[in-house]
Amino acid sequence: MDVKEPAEKKKNVLFIIVEDFKNIMGCYGNPLVKTPNIDRLAQKGLRFDRAYCQFPVCNPSRSSFMTGLRVDTIGIYENVSPWTKNVGHVMTMPRFFRDNGYHTIRINKIFHGTGAHDDPGAWSQMYDIGTSELGRTGQGRNLTDGVVPWCSWLAANGTDEDQQDGAMISKAIELLKQKREEPFFMALGLAKPHDPFNAPRKYFEMYNLDELMPPVLPDNRYPEQQYTIESGWKKSFDKFSLQDEREYLRAYYACTTFADAQIGRITDTLDKQDLWKDTVVLFIGDHGYNLGEHDWWNKNVLFEDSCRVPMIAVIEGETRAATSCGELVELIDIFQTFADLCGLEAPKGLEGLSFRPLLSNPYQKWKKAAYTQVRRGGGLDGVSIRTKRWRYIEWRQKGKTKARELYDHASDPGEYRNLAELSEFTGVCKELSELLKNGQNQLQ
């Protein structure tokens, strides 16, 4: 009698998504912000140094990477509309895994919220876990005297588990300890460091206000395009004193270190449960964030700080410890990469590109450019590409280009000198404009 070989067990997937997460971890070269657990994760796997979101706002970004579709395909440009508004119920990442026999788990924000903003039928289990009453108390203030309601911090009373991120990680640990026959796809949505900047008091006490300094902007910076920052909030930010800016930085750093501690609890559980060998682990930020660069204290701009995201992958048998990748990847690539790593045929029509080849060989040439966009009022769209050297932006309205921006990262990594109108860069702009129109997923 023939003896059948046992079917190879499918890999689990653990997808950790953090809101508004700027690349300020120790493993990304920041000596000030305390992120020992994310740094340890990077030591265990592959750190991506040029990963980019497709829209630096939560709902458009998540709608894009959770469906594997470009922003213009899914048609979501703000935080109000459900992701199904224009495309209906296309295949989503969790639904794909559930259809392929996975036990799918969502804890807190993965799409842009619950109900119509989620894909409820895609999840085997869903949890929405909040902050305790004690965790809502403490010492803090609004940095704009209430003009910008979200712009506040709270050094909160209670423990980590009195905050929603701490409580949700406790639930995740409980679920990771459960034994299942089927593989799992678990998505964890950490809220911090998203505003309001609330974290347990001990994390605020890790940072001395007097040692924190906002970025120094160059004296020879060019004035930003009129469309670059379109928000009434900037009037309040422009009134910040040095004390206000230091408090903002401390609050964001405290929330970052708090989030790091929760990620450490998860990675400790993976150690104890011996899950690393069976699990694809990917950690990302849903988009970046500006902390005073260009006099801006938020997101939704096409500068590097808001477009670039942290991303770390740990997959035994694929990634090597303590490696980094300088090639361009996009969040839209994640869906196809997960399918590839789990031996599944990806749905037709996905618009990203599996970056699995980079996991084992992070030095091979990859994409020519990464694409990010924003939308302003009056149908004005900002569309951007980032190559290894250049960032190029076009501001378009009713089919016409209203303005352009060009930044040379070889000499201006902060993107303060717009070269687009200088005659010697006409050829560069023309080449990048063509790539902007036709270059998505082109390899070098």
Digit-coded pLDDT (tens) for 115-168: 889 999 999 999 999 999 999 999 999 999 999 999 999 999 999 999 999 999
> Which of 113, 111, 141 lies closest to 15 in space, CA to CA?
111
Query: What tens digit of pLDDT does each residue of 194-209 get?
Result: 999 999 999 999 999 9
Going along the chain from its start, the domains and CATH numbers come out as 12-367 (3.40.720.10)
Q: What is the residue-wise DSSP string for 344-379?
A: -PPPTT--S---HHHHH-TTS--BS-EEEEEEEGGG
The answer on pLDDT for 305 being more than 50 is: yes
| pLDDT for the residue numbered 114 | 83
Provide the pLDDT for residue 89.
87
Q: Identify whether the C-beta of residue 37 lies closer than 8 Å to the C-beta of residue 263.
A: yes
DSSP one-letter string for 28-41 = GT-SSS--HHHHHH
Beta-carbon contacts of residue 196 (< 8 Å; ≥ 6 apart): 150, 151, 152, 153, 154
For residue 1, pLDDT beyond 70: no
The mean pLDDT value of the chain amounts to 96
pLDDT of residue 6: 47
pLDDT at 7: 56
pLDDT at 5: 46
Asked if pLDDT for residue 2 goes beyond 80, the answer is no
> Is residue 273 helix, strand or coil?
coil
Range list of H helices, 371-440? 426-438
pTM of the model: 0.97
pLDDT at 4: 43
pLDDT recorded at residue 209: 98
Q: What is the mean pLDDT of residues 301-318?
A: 98
Q: Provide, for the chain, the percentages of residues in helix, strand and coil under a 3-state DSSP scheme, each rounded to the nearest 5.
A: 35, 20, 45
Section 428-443 average pLDDT: 93
Mean pLDDT for 211-221 is 95
Q: What is the mean pLDDT of residues 423-432?
A: 98
Average pLDDT score over residue span 360-389: 97
- Indicate whether 97 pLDDT > 50: yes
Segment 398-407, tens digit of pLDDT: 999 999 999 9
When pLDDT is cut at 50, 70 and 90, the band that residue 423 belongs to is: very high
Q: Across the strands, what pairs with 107?
A: 127, 188
Residue-level pLDDT at 8: 74
Residue 375 has pLDDT above 70, yes or no: yes
| Beta pairing, strands 279-285 & 308-314 | antiparallel
- Confidence band, pLDDT 50/70/90 cuts, at residue 298: very high
∠371-374-377 over CA atoms, to 5°?
Answer: 155
Q: What is the pLDDT of residue 230?
A: 78
